[in-house]
Amino acid sequence: MTAQLIPTLSSNLNLNKLPQHVAVIMDGNGRWAKQRGLPRIEGHRRGANTLKEMLRYCKDLKIKTLTAYAFSTENWGRPTAEVDFLMTLFERLLQKELKEMEAERVCINFIGDLSPLPPSLQQEMHRSMERTKNNRDIYFNVAINYGSRHEMVKACRKIAEKVQQGKISATDIDENMIAQHLYTSSSPDPDLLIRTSGEMRLSNFLLWQLAYTEIYVTDTLWPDFNHEQFEQALESFQQRDRRFGKKVG
Ligand code: IPE
Ligand code: IPE
Ligand code: MG
């Protein structure tokens, strides 16, 4: 992780009104590389650094949970060379960063269907989850082979099995039970979602969990998303009036 990142002097951040859980759709790596005449994989490499810095910054601000979208169920449709590169990059990063995550008291958790991932990557993922499971400074959820619709189908199947086995009845199913069967069962819903590179869509990310999340979209491409820009997102969040459907006027 890089040097300490403290809110800039010009910052209007209210440290008592920060989101507890920030989710991020890290988009624009390919465009960042293309603008520089580099291969797309360079954008992914740089994007990994951005994530590392963002994790550090969240920790410094005592934001409790960071959830990052790293690979969607739809991203398998990309060229094989890019997919292979990303899988190798994830594995290398885990090998390289585990010690520091342990030292920094990061609790890493992967959300998504890990079973189709390369076995050596799965091994690193389980190892890092196991080694950091008691850390409490920051919860770091990384969505890999994650798709919200797939997550919901999986939850429905698990609940239906319980009904079939007579463990619960259909009328026991409520919002809480569904939330408990999602990958995110141990996290509160995100307060703030950031999407870089200007796209105004969710791309199958946390459809259930984002029901009342504040959304911030920036044109900045993910590899260029730095702590000043993160502060701008946080300041924008602090100006929002979160009504949850309840308040009027
Ligand atoms: C996000 O950047 C990273 C992943 C989806 C893995 P992209 O690779 O989608 O970059 P753009 O959107 O093509 O610029
Ligand atoms: C969303 O970005 C997925 C990740 C950031 C991992 P995409 O680049 O895959 O999304 P679309 O294709 O623009 O919707
Ligand atoms: Mg993209």
- Structural domains for the chain: 21-148+190-238 (3.40.1180.10)
Instruction: Give pLDDT tens digits for 176-222.
Output: 999 999 999 999 999 999 999 999 999 999 999 999 999 999 999 99
The set of protein residues with a Cβ atom below 6 angstroms from ligand 2 is 25-27, 69-72, 75, 199, 201, 203
Q: Assess contact for 217 and 195: CB atoms under 8 A.
A: yes
Ligand closest to the CA atom of residue 41? 1
Q: Give the residue numbers marked as catalytic.
A: 27, 75
Chain-centre distance of CA 131, in angstroms?
A: 20
User: Ligand 1 in contact with 30 (CB < 6 A)?
Assistant: yes
Task: Quote the CA–CA distance of 34 and 149 in Å, as a whole number.
Answer: 31
Which of the listed residues 203, 207, 219, 222 should we mutate to test ligand 2's pocket, taking the one with most ligand atoms within 8 A of CB? 203
Q: pLDDT band at residue 6, thresholds of 50, 70 and 90? A: low
Which of the listed residues 24, 25, 27 should we mutate to test ligand 1's pocket, taking the one with most ligand atoms within 8 A of CB? 27
In this predicted structure, the answer to whether residue 136 has a pLDDT above a threshold of 60 is yes
Q: If you average pLDDT over residues 42-53, what whole number do you get?
A: 98
Q: Provide the 3-class DSSP secondary structure of residue 139.
A: strand
Phi and psi (nearest 5°) for 147? -145, 130
Number of the ligand 2 atom closest to the C-alpha atom of 143: 6
In this predicted structure, the answer to whether residue 5 has a pLDDT above a threshold of 80 is no
In this predicted structure, the answer to whether residue 17 has a pLDDT above a threshold of 80 is yes
More confidently predicted of 93 and 2: 93
In this predicted structure, the answer to whether residue 247 has a pLDDT above a threshold of 90 is no
Q: Mean pLDDT in the chain?
A: 95
Res 206: pLDDT: 98
User: Ligand 1 in contact with 27 (CB < 6 A)?
Assistant: yes
Which of the listed residues 72, 82, 196 should we mutate to test ligand 2's pocket, taking the one with most ligand atoms within 8 A of CB? 72
Q: pLDDT band at residue 10, thresholds of 50, 70 and 90? A: low
Task: Quote the CA–CA distance of 218 and 196 in Å, as a whole number.
Answer: 5
pTM: 0.96
3-state secondary structure the chain: CCCCCCCCCCCCCCCCCCCCEEEEECCCHHHHHHHCCCCHHHHHHHHHHHHHHHHHHHHHCCCCEEEEEEEEHHHHHCCHHHHHHHHHHHHHHHHHHHHHHHHCCEEEEEECCCCCCCHHHHHHHHHHHHHHCCCCCEEEEEEEEECHHHHHHHHHHHHHHHHHCCCCCHHHCCHHHHHHCCCCCCCCCCCEEEECCCCCCCCCCCCCCCCCCEEEECCCCHHHCCHHHHHHHHHHHHHCCCCCCCCCC
Q: pLDDT band at residue 248, thresholds of 50, 70 and 90? A: confident
In this predicted structure, the answer to whether residue 223 has a pLDDT above a threshold of 70 is yes
How many angstroms is it from 24 CA to the middle of ligand 3?
A: 13
In this predicted structure, the answer to whether residue 63 has a pLDDT above a threshold of 90 is yes
Q: pLDDT band at residue 7, thresholds of 50, 70 and 90? A: low
How many angstroms is it from 106 CA to the middle of ligand 3?
A: 27
In this predicted structure, the answer to whether residue 249 has a pLDDT above a threshold of 70 is no
Task: Quote the CA–CA distance of 217 and 238 in Å, as a whole number.
Answer: 15
Q: If you average pLDDT over residues 4-11, what whole number do you get?
A: 57
Q: If you average pLDDT over residues 97-102, what whole number do you get?
A: 98
Instruction: Give pLDDT tens digits for 139-184.
Output: 999 999 999 999 999 999 999 999 999 999 999 999 999 999 999 9
Ion ligand 3 nearby residues (CB, 5 A): 27
User: Ligand 1 in contact with 125 (CB < 6 A)?
Assistant: no
Ligand closest to the CA atom of residue 34? 1
